[in-house]
């Protein structure tokens, strides 16, 4: 089992950058593929980005491709989501997830989420 804790969310202006982190507990962190999802008010939860267990493979939603970068440091049990050129439509709660396989396989574990708000 793994526990996930997100941090780094906040209020920024359109065009700004923000980096959110996901710290995981447990010694088996490198056994999990990690994905970020987000949910905006009144909308369904959607996939944002994913990274394989080794970090060698990544996937992105079309809406963030070229602006967001997912990375991981298995020595620190941490995954990062660097978000550049933020837009108001990126406003959402961002969730870190872990699973045995890379997205689109649904993850098994979810964090509590961190709020990202982008003002226009």
25: nearest Cα among 1, 7, 60, 53: 1
pLDDT above 90: residue 26: no
Task: Give the list of residues 6+ apart from residue 94 with CB closer than 8 angstroms, or none.
Answer: 6, 9, 20, 36, 37, 38, 48, 81, 113, 114, 115, 116
| Whole-number Å distance between alpha carbons of 75 and 78 | 8
- pLDDT tens by residue, 63-120: 999 999 999 999 999 999 999 999 999 999 999 999 999 999 889 999 999 999 999 9
pLDDT above 90: residue 13: yes
Look up residue 46 and give its two tokens: 């959607």
């Amino acid at each position: 089992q793994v526990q996930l804790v997100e941090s780094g969310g906040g209020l920024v202006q359109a065009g700004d950058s923000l980096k959110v982190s996901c710290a995981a507990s447990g010694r088996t962190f490198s056994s999990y593929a990690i994905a970020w999802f987000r949910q905006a008010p009144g909308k369904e939860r959607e996939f944002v980005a994913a990274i394989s267990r080794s970090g060698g493979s990544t996937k992105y939603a079309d809406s963030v491709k070229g602006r967001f970068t997912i990375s991981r440091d298995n020595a620190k049990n941490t995954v990062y989501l660097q978000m550049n050129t933020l837009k108001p439509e990126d406003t959402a709660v961002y969730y870190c997830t872990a699973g045995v396989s890379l997205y689109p396989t649904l993850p098994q574990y979810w964090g509590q989420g961190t709020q990202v708000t982008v003002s226009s």
